[in-house]
Amino acid sequence: MTAFPQYAKTTNPDVIAAVARNVEGVSAFHASACAFAEAHGAEKGGYYPSAFAGMHRIRAIAAGTKPTTGRWKRGYAGYGWLPFKNDPLHDEFEAIRFDEESLPGLPDMLRGPYLPNGQHMLYTPQPFLWGDAVYVGFSGAPVEDGTKQPDIADGGWVEILASEYHAAREAFNAAAAEKQAA
């Protein structure tokens, strides 16, 4: 099996539907996180997100002062506030999460090269829907590492040129900025 391409797209309806569900799920997660944070003293519902490989969590709420709605401690690295594990709010805090659905044919994580300084590159896909296709691109070329990966044919993924990917990404970002400004 060959490595997943650095730039790819698909028009597979199952992938498009999964991306739409993931977008809705992330939006619902964000709304829940903001509501929780605002209820416990964070102005405008501010919170510190934690997201990696499609897993979305709250790292801490961004309250300027220690919340008075239970027992709280400073967040990791001194940012924000976390409820103590033995506080009833902790279960509510931990329940606010969203795990993105895996997309057919697209691995959840890909390996990249080893760098001269010893670092090993890992790539997590961040697919986006633009027009009638889902696009995905990585900052470097994934490498074949011998692990079992999904078959890219399952999602109808086809390799595309970097220029096509970047044109779609720029158009997607411009539309998102325009929507946010409105």
- pLDDT value of residue 74: 94
Q: Per-residue pLDDT averaged across 127-142, rounded?
A: 94
Asked whether residue 81 is domain-assigned, the answer is yes
Residue 109 in domain: yes
Q: What is the pTM of this model?
A: 0.87
Q: Which of 29-43, 75-89, 113-127 has the highest mean pLDDT?
A: 29-43
Q: Are residues 79 and 109 in the same domain?
A: no
Helix-, strand-, coil-residue percentages of the chain, each rounded to 5: 35, 25, 40
Burial class of residue 174, CB neighbours in 10 A (0-12, 13-18, 19+): exposed
* 120, 131: one domain: yes
- Residue 147 belongs to what domain range? 7-21+104-181
CB-CB contact of 136 with 158 (8 Å): no
Average pLDDT over residues 12-31: 97
Average pLDDT over residues 144-172: 91
Give the pLDDT confidence score for residue 64 in this predicted structure.
87
15 & 31 share domain: no
CA angle 46, 182, 168 (to 5 degrees): 90
